[in-house]
Each structure stands twice: as structure tokens, then as C-alpha cells.
Amino acid sequence: KLMHEMRVRIISSPAFTGAKVIAAILFERTMDGEAHGKPVATYLWKDRGVVPFLKIDKGLEAEKNGVQMMKPIDGLDELLARAVKLGIYGTKERSTINLASQDGIAAIVAQQFEVAAQVAAHGLMPILEPEVLIKSPEKAAAEKILLAEITKKLDALPSDRQVMIKVTIPEVPDLYAPLIKHPRMQRVVALSGGYPRAEACKRLAANHGMIASFSRALVDGLTRSMSDAEFDAALKAAIDEIFTASTVKT
């Protein structure tokens, strides 16, 4: 209940509007809840101008071949049908990559695109999230393999299909530029991955065409005990900083 109240407080803040926030990814519990007497997705889209997505993954398997695959998502079709009725635009699914394992990363990408096809069948936009861990000892090499595997899967998509992808900010700036330009890609967004906000924004600003999809780096420092004025000012400062890194590139 307290977590839901905090999330509603964030999306109700004067700074949290479509002027600088394109979309919000919701937990299932948040999607099923209300904000100011309306379903959360409706409130976001109609009142705030922010497009609602839904997190659909149910956690990770144990690491194998240097990666952690998604656990099976039981009842996914039912969840997706409910999301459509509640006005959700798309979904997000996360798995993680620790090592530059060709077999492991290929398996991760295959699973991500398999789930994405199931999502697309319901008319929803899938965000694939194969997160390369920022503490990976082989981060740059893993990202290079990931780029190649994603490109192969994008090339094989039907001409009327698009996906989005959420990736760790790469070690080599603009590594994912080919994905951003790919006709099967709607948008490439960056996760903060545990970097402090200043570091995440500095790295993001070096990647042209990539915008932020930050969670931890967005809400860092926000507390329930803050007054509304303090809360709104802190959130505005975070959104402004992240928006600048997304739009003003170095």
C-alpha cells in the first residue's frame, strides 16, 4: 500500500508530465490500482500525457553460460489481455548478462524475442531488456555480442513489426547506433543499471539517439517524509537532469 502511494505521488507531481516524460513502466500491482479515482494507466495517459507500459517478467533463473534467463511467465496471455483492457501500450521484460558468452547471450536474445512475439500478438509494443550488468568483467565484449545477436533477430522480423529495447549504457559510445536506425526498432532506451544519476547521465549524453529509461537513478533521494514542495523539487531536478542527458548530446 505504501509503495503504491509513493508511485502515485511520483506520477502526480507537477514535474511528471508528457513534457519531459514519454512513458512509465508499471508493476502489475500498480496497473491494477488507481490514481485519483482512475485506473493508473488511464490517469497517466489522459491526465499526464505519459504512455503506460507494464513489467511482465517474473524474475530470473540461476546463472548459466554467463547469463540469467527469465523464469517462465505463467498466465502471460491472460495478463496481456488484461493489460490491453486497462489501456496499457506495451510491456517490458528483463534478463541479465554477466559474461561475454556467445551461447548464453544468443539464448537470452532468443528468449526475449520469443516473448516479444507473444506480446505483439496482443497488439502491445514489447520492450526487450537484456541487461549487461555494469559490474561485468567482460562488459564491452558482451555488448558487442549482444549487438550482433539483436541485429540478426531484428533482420528476421516481419516488415510490419517493431520492438523497443532497453539496454545498459555501453562502454563504447554509440555502439547501438545501428539499432537506433534499424527499421524494425521503434526506440532504444537506456537503463541506469546501478550507476549514480550523475554518472548515468554523463554516459547517456555520449550516446546519440538514445534516451533514458531510468528507475533507480530517477527516484534516488525521494523519501516519503518529504513535504510536497521538497518532493516535487527533488523530482523535477532529477527529471530535468535526465531529460538533458537524453536530448543534449556530447
Active site residue 34: no
Q: Give the three-state DSSP class for 73.
A: coil
- The catalytic position among 129, 131, 143, 241 is 129
- Distance, CA of 31 to CA of 82 (rounded, Å): 10
CA distance 73 to 3: 23
- Any catalytic annotation for residue 129? yes
List the catalytic residue out of 93, 149, 166, 241.
166
Identify whether the C-beta of residue 95 lies closer than 8 Å to the C-beta of residue 130. yes
| Residue linked to cell 558468452 | 101
Residues 6+ apart with CB under 8 A from 184: 154, 155, 157, 161, 162, 163
Rounded Cα distance, 177 and 188, in Å: 9
Angle at 20 (CA atoms; ends 14, 21), nearest 5 degrees: 85
Catalytic residues: 129, 166
